[in-house]
Structure 1
Amino acid sequence: MQCYINTHCTILFYPQTHGTRCFHPTRLSVTPPQQEQRISHDVDEKSKLITSSSNPFVKHCLKLRNNSSYRRSHGSVLVVGTTPIREIYRFQESSQNKNVTMDCLILPDKAEIPNGLDESADSIVHVSSTVMRKISGLQSTDSIDAIALMKIPASFSNLDDDQKNCQKWFPSAHRILVLDGIQDPGNLGTLLRSAVAFRWDGVFLLPGCCDPFNEKALRASRGASFQLPIVSGSWNHLESLKEESQMKLLAGHPQHEGLIKPVFSLSQSFCDSILDTPLCLVLGSEGSGLSEKSLQACELVSIAMTGEYESLNVSVAGGIFLYMLQPKNK
């Protein structure tokens, strides 16, 4: 079964029968012919809401939440909670950047459309509290009054080996955050949020990073995944970007003995000296740190610490780097 959503309905294609069914908020004919009678008992026809977790639309939402390849193939993602949904649309209104589309707004039974979202969704679906918990993945949905099914923004690019037209990746490439094997979605989402807060131009994801539209990454980013260009590619792509934009490669790395190359300190004078220089800041994972390629290709920079800890959490260190190296006149 495949599911496609347009402005009027969700289209589900069943390869076994080569037939389609259309899901409307007020007409739940979303099953193959042999299943229609059974599913009709799961739907409260009076209130027109979805009450069954086995409903095909609910199953589609669960796959979007749990499966990265499914999200990519359908070009859709679930955003849980009114706050990140509002953040996304507030950014879109302020930037005049109309690259975000909400296909469907999922609300609890009898709930009103949250303020500010009444003109955003193409369709509205009401669900029972059980289904709301199932779709959100949360034990308690007391604070969850909306879930949005949104298109993955056009500002996200998943590059093939042959895609090396760097000018299309980032409208501006003065400050680019590069994440090297960041697998923890909470750290990745927090770094995306900090990159937006400190006005960086975009984020480049090297192999080994988690999906920025992972449910935990979305929760930590509070909608930042939709607010700046994100490119997923290889070191070959990054080197093309570096050469095309004449960028300096810096990498955050703790100062310790045994390093072959020097490590600069993240001081104000150091930051001022490269203020006008286009740069990529590379951050590695907490577990394994920077990859060998990053260690070889980048100038290393450390955060001076008076305490005895060897290093900081990558999202904490990243926030400091992003603040100190942020563009000043943007």
Structure 2
Amino acid sequence: MEKITSLQNKKVKIWTSLQTKKGRDEHQLFLVETEHLIEEANNAHVLKAILSDEDGDILVTKEIIRKLKTSQSTIHKLGLCAIPHFEKKRYKKVILLDEVQDPGNLGTIIRTAKSFGFGAIYCSENCCDAFNAKCVQSSQGAIFSMPIFRQDLKSVIAFLKKQGLKVLGTSLKKSIPLKEVQKINDIAILLGNEGQGVKDELLALCDEITRIEMDGFESLNVAIAGAILMYTLQ
């Protein structure tokens, strides 16, 4: 068993950098913090090592664990994971995300998409990072098996249309009620930023635009709205 005690150790510095998107992108690694996520990572064959101050692949000090963890809970182990990569192929049902900023929302959308049989998620280039610790935690392990791509959505929409998918935008303006949307097998649902919604230039590329009928209020959290749409159109 490898043992590391110094906060200045080169590996500790690399692991610490994984708290940033730049570090995760550079090393193609990220950390997970619960037994459940460590188990899910292992099942997905992306777990590289367990760092622990008790018993693991790499024995570290409590100080190192405290430096690396992001939660307030007392924990004794972390999972070091490789960022999973998936093939860009034809998926029948996909989610498109336009600048979703909150990692908790993104993680919930990933978890919901997995639950309702959606095949992939395309994030715009300005979305929050899917491997942010809060997003990973909110996904409850779905992030290990849900293909997530980061790409300009204009090109993605053109690509999906060529593959025969209907692109369904979401907006309160110039839209039809969700109950009037025809349920089909090949669909891409476009969800927008928490404050601004979907950009007009992306809505202009959609085949249809819908809204969730509400009584007495005008907006829903993007993750909740996404869940309603995915459940209805699964």
Tell me how far 1:137 sits from its aligned partner: 2.2
Question: Does structure 2 conserve the Cα–Cα contact (< 8 Å) formed by 1:81 and 1:145?
Answer: no
Give yes or no for the alignment of 1:280 onto 2:188. Answer: yes
Pair 1:169 & 2:88 matched: yes
Determine whether 1:248 maps to 2:166. yes
Provide the C-alpha distance between the structure 2 equivalents of 1:284 and 1:236, rounded to a whole number of angstroms.
14
2:62 is aligned to: 129
1:266-303 per-residue CA deviation (whole Å, 9 max, x = no partner) reads 22xx45x3323x11100001111111222212221111
Aligned with 1:297: secondary structure? Answer: coil
Q: Cα offset for 1:145?
A: 4.1
Match of 1:250, SS?
strand
Aligned ranges 1:237-316 → 2 under 5 Å: 237-254=155-172, 259=173, 261=174, 263-267=175-179, 270=180, 273-276=182-185, 278-298=186-206, 299-306=208-215, 308-316=216-224
Change beyond 3 A, Cα 1:316–1:243: closer
Contact residue 177 and residue 210 of structure 2 kept, 8 A: yes
Given candidates 130, 141, 144, the residue that maps to 1:226 is 144
- The one-letter amino acid paired with 2:27 is H
Residue in structure 2 matched with residue 51 of structure 1 by the alignment? 5
CA contact (8 A) 2:49 2:80 kept: yes
Deviations 1:30-66 (A, max 9, x none): xxxxxxxxxxxxxxxxxxx43332322221111012x
Supply the distance in 2 between the matched residues of 1:322 and 1:292 (Cα, whole angstroms): 22
Instruction: Kindly indicate whether structure 1 or structure 2 has the higher relative contact order, using CA contacts under 8 Å at least 6 residues apart.
Output: 2
Gaps of 5+ in 1: 1-24, 27-48, 93-99, 114-123, 156-167
SS of structure 1 residue aligned to 2:91: coil
Q: Percent identity?
A: 31
Q: Are the equivalent residues in 1 in contact too, given 2:62–2:76 (CA < 8 A)?
A: no
Q: For 1:313 and 1:154, how far apart are their aligned partners in 2?
A: 29
Kept in 2: contact 1:185–1:214 (CA 8 A):
yes
The Cα of 1:153 is off from its aligned counterpart by 0.8
Shift of 1:215: 1.3
Aligned: 1:63 with 2:17: yes
Q: How does 1:107-126 map to 2 (within 5 A)?
A: 107-109=52-54, 111=55, 124-126=57-59
Letter in 1 for 2:176: F
CA distance in 2, matches of 1:238, 1:81: 34
Asked if the contact 1:107–1:147 (Cα under 8 Å) also holds between the matched residues in 2, the reply is yes
Deviation of residue 218 (structure 1)?
A: 0.8
Do structure 1's residue 102 and structure 2's residue 102 form an aligned pair? no
TM normalised by structure 1 equals: 0.66
1:236–1:302: structure 2 CA closer, same or farther, 3 Å change rule? closer
How far does residue 208 in structure 1 lie from its aligned partner after superposition? 1.3
Gaps of 5+ in 2: none
Q: Which has the larger radius of gyration?
A: 1
State the SS of the aligned residue for 1:228: coil
C-alpha change, 1:197 and 1:88, in structure 2 (3 Å) is farther
1:180-213 deviation digits (Å, cap 9, x = unpaired): 0001111111101111111101000112101101
Moved more, 194-203 or 80-89: 80-89
Letter in 2 for 1:57: K
Report the alpha carbon displacement of residue 127 of structure 1 after superposing the two structures with TM.
Answer: 1.9
State how far apart, in whole Å, the 1-side matches of 2:147 and 2:159 are: 14
Q: What's the offset of the Cα at 1:89?
A: 4.0
Which of 205, 224, 227 is 1:319 aligned to? 227
SS, match of residue 131 in structure 2: coil
